[in-house]
Amino acid sequence: SQTIHQWPATLVQPVGSPLSLECTVEGTSNPNLYWYRQAAGRGLQLLFYSVGIGQISSEVPQNLSASRPQDRQFILSSKKLLLSDSGFYLCAWSVSRVGITEAFFGQGTRLTVV
């Protein structure tokens, strides 16, 4: 069965520090991968989308970047965090089959920038 791992679950970082969040998927190959951010009262915002190794689409210009060094690994990074980067970050993968494109989410990382 497919599983998605996302870590850490909670992170407190000072302003100006770097960030690296990692997400890995097991049990599937060549998935679409996503990074979403969910800020309080602002819903689920798509940050990055990847259809393959090294292929990253940025949905919102911002202080963050993403990389996909391996087929089932997706990394969210920042060189210098801002207070506005605080939020709940969710990694997801999707598969397409007849009649449905379904996304599966990790458990999320709650990032607080202080």
Smallest distance, another protein to C-beta of residue 90, A:
6
Distances, alpha carbon 29 to alpha carbons 35, 37, 53, 72, in Å = 18, 24, 11, 7
Pick between residue 52 and residue 80 the one whose CB is nearest to another protein.
Answer: 52
* 62 DSSP assignment: S
Site size toward another protein (CB under 8 A) is: 30
**Under rule CB under 8 A, residue 60 binds another protein:** no
Provide the CB-side half-sphere exposure for 34 (13 A, CA): 20
d(CA 107, CA 40): 17
Q: For the chain, state the CA radius of gyration.
A: 14
Q: Given candidates 54, 61, 69, 100, which one binds another protein under the rule CB under 8 A?
A: 100
Contact flags string 16-55 toward another protein, x per CB under 8 A: ----------------x-x-x----xxxx-x--x-xx---
Structure tokens, 42: 């602002």
User: Which residues would be at the binding site for another protein (CB under 8 A)?
Assistant: 32, 34, 36, 41-44, 46, 49, 51-52, 57, 88, 90, 92, 94, 96-108, 110
